[in-house]
């Protein structure tokens, strides 16, 4: 007995690890090369955006770090004046494109993640309230969501942006752009969450555990937050993953249109907008590397979301 009782701790840990390792989701993950590849790529890009600034050669937006003599260096070829090498080349100001892309990815991911979080919190909240309380609140929220869903997200984001341009004094506009983008993209994507959560809340609220909670005197707020919410989160994670890719593309599109991040603090979209001007003069690398980064980032997250949706949906297996 004593030999057995001495080792429950590690054994339990091991079995917990085993249970995790053998769970359906992880099993499906281990057997899907696409999922592993896209997860690795996403992790690499997110990690690069987080710690990359400590490794890249320069701070691309500190004018003191730039040397005009390095300008327009081709990727991987030494500069004719300074003999400096740049893996991704440089732009006319001598800015290292690798550093610019890393900083740009950071901004793109920040805006993408924050706006997804914003629309998720907003949409889940409205969906829970609509599903739980029903009645007039429900019909108003769902009507608005219908209208919102039939209008394209980019149009709504542009409108929010245009209105904000008129309301915020010009001096503060540049510093407010980041928050404006997050709110504009967030507000254009909440309806999907609200719809999904309302649907599952309608099912969950008649289950016995919710009735039990109600009988034991918990408030509506506590029931929604502690009992229903954890049970409707599954589909929400899938939507959030796919929306992250969409939000990153939406941000890039807004910045490309010239209503997003300013050139002093560029995202990938701003870099592509700038790079497009050099397309005709043959400096392809100023455009290519930000564009490739954006494509790989969006594709990897998209594939991961697609896989997650299939893996969590037993009907498709």
- Alpha carbon dihedral 125, 153, 109, 86, in 10-degree steps, equals 180
Is 263 a residue that touches another protein (CB under 8 A)?
no
Contact 311, 255 (CB under 8 A): no
Q: Which of 52, 98, 48, 56 is nearest to 73 (CA)?
A: 98
Rounded to whole angstroms, the Cα distance separating 128 from 116 reads: 18
Applying CB under 8 A, the span of 64-72, 110-118, 132-140, 256-264 interacting with another protein comes to 256-264
Footprint of another protein on 124-163 (CB under 8 A) = 147, 150-155, 158-159, 161-163
Pick 147 or 221: Cβ nearer another protein: 147
Footprint of another protein on 21-80 (CB under 8 A) = none
Q: List the structure tokens of 200.
A: 């599952």
Footprint of another protein on 161-180 (CB under 8 A) = 161-163, 165-167
Select the residue interacting with another protein from 256, 285, 289, 307 (CB under 8 A): 256
Rounded to whole angstroms, the Cα distance separating 53 from 284 reads: 24
Applying CB under 8 A, the span of 3-11, 85-93, 123-131, 253-261 interacting with another protein comes to 253-261
Select the residue interacting with another protein from 253, 267, 270, 293 (CB under 8 A): 253
Min dist. Cβ of residue 45 to another protein (A):
14
Min dist. Cβ of residue 146 to another protein (A):
10
Query: Interface with another protein by CB under 8 A: which residues?
Result: 147, 150-155, 158-159, 161-163, 165-167, 245, 249, 252-253, 256-259, 272, 276, 279-280, 284, 287, 291, 294-295, 298-299, 302
């Amino acid at each position: 007995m004593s030999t057995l009782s001495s080792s429950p701790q590690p054994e339990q840990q091991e079995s917990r690890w085993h249970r995790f390792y053998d769970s359906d989701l992880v099993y499906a993950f281990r057997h899907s090369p696409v999922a592993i590849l896209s997860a690795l790529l996403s992790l690499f890009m997110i990690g690069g955006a987080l710690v990359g600034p400590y490794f890249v050669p320069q701070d691309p937006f500190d004018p003191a770090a730039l040397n005009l003599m390095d300008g327009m260096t081709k990727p991987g070829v030494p500069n004719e004046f300074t003999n400096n090498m740049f893996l991704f080349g440089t732009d006319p100001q001598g800015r290292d494109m690798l550093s610019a892309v890393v900083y740009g990815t950071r901004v793109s991911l920040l805006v993408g993640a924050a706006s997804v979080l914003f629309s998720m919190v907003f949409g889940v909240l409205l969906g829970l309230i609509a599903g739980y309380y029903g009645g007039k609140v429900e019909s108003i929220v769902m009507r608005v969501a219908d209208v919102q869903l039939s209008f394209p997200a980019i149009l709504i984001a542009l409108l929010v942006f245009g209105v904000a341009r008129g309301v915020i004094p010009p001096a503060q506009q540049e510093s407010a752009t980041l928050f404006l983008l997050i709110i504009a993209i967030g507000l254009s994507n909440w309806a999907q969450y609200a719809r999904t959560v309302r649907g599952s809340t309608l099912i969950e609220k008649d289950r016995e555990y919710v009735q039990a909670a109600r009988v034991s005197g918990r408030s509506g707020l506590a029931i929604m937050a502690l009992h229903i919410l954890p049970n409707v989160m599954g589909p929400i994670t899938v939507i959030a993953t796919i929306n992250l890719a969409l939000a990153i593309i939406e941000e890039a599109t807004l910045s490309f249109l010239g209503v997003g991040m300013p050139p002093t603090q560029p995202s990938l979209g701003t870099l592509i907008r700038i790079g497009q001007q050099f397309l005709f003069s043959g400096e392809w690398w100023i455009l290519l590397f930000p564009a490739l980064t954006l494509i790989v980032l969006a594709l990897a997250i998209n594939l991961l979301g697609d896989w997650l949706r299939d893996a969590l949906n037993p009907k498709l297996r």
